[in-house]
Chain A
Amino acid sequence: MAFFLEALIGGLMAGMLYSLIALGFVLIYKASGVFNFAQGAMVLFAALAMARFSEWIPQWLGFDNKILANVLAFAAAAVCMMIVAWAMERWVLGKLVNQEGITLLMATLGASYFLDGSGQMIFGSDIYKIDVGMPKDPVFLLESVFQGGVLVNKEDVYAALIAAALVAALALFFQKTSTGRALRAVADDHQAAQSIGIPLNRIWIIVWSVAGLVALVAGIIWGSKLGVQFSLQLVALKALPVVILGGLTSVPGAIIGGLIIGVGEKLSEIYIGPYMGGGIEIWFAYVMALLFLLVRPQGLFGEKIIDRV
């Protein structure tokens, strides 16, 4: 039982982190109606900026305080992500108003390579570390209930809490503010949104900035776990089954989808894995997503697409 709980909690924590990445996809899809292929590259770019600025800023300003360095580096990296958002609107999306989804998709694919290259050009292509003082030591919970208790990684707990707070804030922003409503309007129909005076370019800059910030937080958390390197952008691939499961248009869907995938991965590895020679964690998420597509193509919380014929 304790072992099961341990695996469950581990899965939930990992799932929360998948959610965080999936959230980036959902945000941009909701506001620009485009599946942003560059999300993974944005995570890498943000993490690179964070890692390098936390080295550079103390050197430039000549101080030696790790907390201050991290705070300033976060601010600098956030500014970088806003510049990326602005550039994206100015030179890519702004030129493609009212175009087909596939055109926008290809544009983000291009942007992804561009961010990849420019990120490594500006910040270097070695493996860097992000150290934001996340505690690495494990703790034991419920020792009175189970023998030996349940082992939980403190870092994972913090990361999950940060992710949860971010997600709650974003859900509130989307559902309750008039800017959030304008964002949803833009996602549904560019032309109609323009006709009622919603400034498309400003909305896009806002939403790409928000997605950039989400990428930054995800990049910091994943980066401090795995190190900042090229492969970091592949974590975005982990988010694909999450958005399929949760629905591309739903913020809560990204969360629940992430948790299901996280838990599903861990439990399947432990309970089904041994029968299949192990290592199924890597692909199990995709199989789950595939099965889901057959039953509910719009995802758990996605909007059902009804086309009038």
Chain B
Amino acid sequence: MSGKKIGEVILDVQNISLRFGGVKALTDISFNVREHEIRAIIGPNGAGKSSMLNCINGVYQPQEGAITFKGQTFHHMNSRQVAEMGVARTFQNLALFKGMSVVDNIMTGRNLKMKSNIFQQALRFGAAQREESEQRLFVERIIDFLEIQPYRKTAVGKMPYGLQKRVDLGRALAMEPTVLLLDEPMAGMNVEEKQDMSRFILDVNDEFGTTIVLIEHDMGVVMDISDRVVVLDYGKKIGDGTPDEVRNNEDVISAYLGTTH
């Protein structure tokens, strides 16, 4: 990862606490993400990784704390706002539109880029027609990039799991996000599929300069591709730094690495 320019802080998470009734999912979590970096969030099961992502994404509203994105500070956000500001995400348990084709799934990611109104679309005149084919072109580029051309018209529900994960990524990429949140992009994949997915993530980061926040269980992958790592355990932050720093952190070893290696 030499020669990559890591920029200013683009996303700053400050003292986030999230409770579900009496259960503390997150306690006083702070960390930041710099432009163009790949930032991993790791931790044992139930550590609060997905909850953290859902707070950034506006799915959960944390009781305390704030999130600063591109210089604007928010205490409450909703999913749509977040999407409009250029944050895209993928899901741990695939949340694809299963009945729709690959093309249509990824096209939905262009939804916010569409400007023509419903009547123009219905009558298919002028602007709407042109817009649709422009967006379609963009989608085709994503399909090429993710190497899923043969599945273009296939209903997503019928595709192999590993490829569905790619469509999920493709839909997020279609939003041309500045920040991409990936929730366990490699869960349930075999070694080969993991390598492919790592390559796509690195390429996205490299070619489009997209900032990536990533949750992942596979330690090998995390240590290989991320620039900095946050470690959570029982909803608390126990480590933060480069992969090497984290690897040698005593708390991390006892909480997480120690149990798996």
Asked if A143 lies at the interface with its beta carbon under 8 angstroms from chain B, I say no
- A-side contacts of B80, CB under 8 Å: 194, 197-199
Known: A172-B122, A195-B89. Is A181-B175 also a contact (CB below 8 A)? no
- B-side contacts of A195, CB under 8 Å: 57, 59, 79, 83, 88-89, 91, 95
Report which of B97, B121, B135 forms a contact with A177, defined as CB distance below 8 A: B121
Known: A196-B171, A303-B99. Is A179-B121 also a contact (CB below 8 A)? yes
- B-side contacts of A189, CB under 8 Å: 95-97
Asked if A178 lies at the interface with its beta carbon under 8 angstroms from chain B, I say yes
Contact check, B132 vs A188: say whether CB atoms are below 8 A apart: no
Chain A: how many interface residues by the 8 Å CB criterion? 29
Contact check, A192 vs B111: say whether CB atoms are below 8 A apart: no
In the assembly, what is the distance between CA of A76 and CA of B40, in Å? Answer: 56
Q: Of all chain A residues, which has the CB nearest B97? A: A188
- A-side contacts of B175, CB under 8 Å: 196-197
> Please, what's the 1-or-0 string for A174-215, where 1 marks a CB less than 8 Å from any CB in chain B?
001111111011011101111111110000001000000000
Inter-chain contact count A-B, CB under 8 Å? 99
> Please, what's the 1-or-0 string for A222-266, where 1 marks a CB less than 8 Å from any CB in chain B?
000000000000000000000000000100000000000000000
Contact check, B97 vs A178: say whether CB atoms are below 8 A apart: no
- A-side contacts of B100, CB under 8 Å: 181, 184-185, 188
Contact check, B171 vs A184: say whether CB atoms are below 8 A apart: no
In the assembly, what is the distance between CA of A187 and CA of B104, in Å? Answer: 14
Contact check, B99 vs A193: say whether CB atoms are below 8 A apart: no
What is the predominant secondary structure among interface residues of chain A facing chain B? Answer: helix
Most central of B88, B98, B111, B112 by chain A CB within 10 Å:
B111
In the assembly, what is the distance between CA of A199 and CA of B172, in Å? Answer: 16
Closest CB-CB distance, B179 to chain A, in whole Å? 13
In the assembly, what is the distance between CA of A199 and CA of B80, in Å? Answer: 7
Closest CB-CB distance, A100 to chain B, in whole Å? 16
Report which of B95, B135, B158 forms a contact with A306, defined as CB distance below 8 A: B158
Asked if A308 lies at the interface with its beta carbon under 8 angstroms from chain B, I say yes
Closest CB-CB distance, A304 to chain B, in whole Å? 9
Contact check, B112 vs A197: say whether CB atoms are below 8 A apart: yes
Asked if A56 lies at the interface with its beta carbon under 8 angstroms from chain B, I say no
Within 8 A of A (CB), among B124-162: 124, 128, 132, 135, 155, 157-158, 161
Closest CB-CB distance, B13 to chain A, in whole Å? 18
Asked if A173 lies at the interface with its beta carbon under 8 angstroms from chain B, I say yes
25 A-B interface contacts by CB (under 8 A): A172-B122, A176-B121, A178-B116, A181-B100, A181-B104, A181-B111, A184-B97, A188-B99, A188-B100, A191-B59, A191-B95, A193-B97, A193-B108, A195-B57, A195-B79, A196-B88, A196-B172, A196-B174, A196-B175, A197-B80, A197-B84, A197-B111, A198-B108, A206-B118, A303-B98
**Contacts from A to B (Cβ < 8 Å):** 169, 172-173, 176-182, 184-185, 187-189, 191-199, 206, 249, 303, 306, 308
**Contacts from B to A (Cβ < 8 Å):** 57, 59, 79-80, 83-84, 88-89, 91, 95-100, 104-105, 107-112, 114, 116, 118, 121-122, 124, 128, 132, 135, 155, 157-158, 161, 171-172, 174-175
